[in-house]
Structures are given as C-alpha cells and as structure tokens.
Amino acid sequence: MSSPEIASLSWGQMKVKGCSTTYKDCKVWPGGSRTWDWRETGTNHSPGVQPADLEEVVKKGVKTVVIGRGMSEALQVPPSTVDYLKKNGIDVLVLQTEKAVAEYNALAAQGARVGGVFHSTC
C-alpha cells in the first residue's frame, strides 16, 4: 500500500487524492487518511503535537513522519514528540505546512512508507 498524495493545500483546506473529504487538519499514512481532530488528545498550538497525535500513524508501519506546523508555523512540536518517533525508529521532518506537504508528496512518490500530520491554518 502506498501513501496517498496530498492533492491540494490552501488556508484551512486540504484534499487527499482518492478521498472525497476536505480536511482542515489531517493525518495520512500508507493506504489512508482522516481528519486530525485535536480534541481527541487535547492538542493546542502550545505545547503542540503530542505523541498521542502520532500513535495511529506510527502503528501503520511508517518509516518517516512529516509534521506540518501550519502556514505560519504556530503549531509547536516539543522535543518529547520527536524523541518518541526516534525511539520507534522513525525519521521525522518538522516543517512549515506547505514545505511539509511538498516533502511528504516527494517521499510518497518515491514509494516511501511515509505518514504525516498536517495543520492547514496558522
């Protein structure tokens, strides 16, 4: 199973190829995607992305996780989250969301087992 291409990104809207849903924030992994609902884990811009936000993606057997911090990089990524991924043998890229989507799509096009979480506003 390959990681789905992110077909489009604009402020507050993301589309994943092969999926009819328009996401505000989304999680993607080989074979699927879904809304990233921050309320599930109590995530906020600060302290930011938590290991609990990434568990679902990690369980899909990814080798790389790309984290999109938002268009203005308002979403924080604490060292504990990066450590969680590294301890699970996963490479991590933390980027501004437009750059993150470009990097994710490049890795997906190469057939990499890549997943990601992307914030499409601030």
The CATH H-level superfamily of 6-118 is MTH938-like (3.40.1230.10)
45-102 per-position pLDDT tens digit: 999 999 999 999 999 999 999 999 999 999 999 999 999 999 999 999 999 999 999 9
Chain-centre distance for alpha carbon 25: 8
| pTM exceeds 0.85, yes or no | yes
Instruction: Give per-residue burial for 5-25: e unless 16+ CB within 10 Å, then b.
Output: bbeebeeeebbbeebeeebbb
Instruction: Spell out the alpha helix ranges (H) of 6-109.
Output: 51-58, 79-87, 97-109
Query: Looking at this protein, which amino acid is placed at residue 26?
Result: C
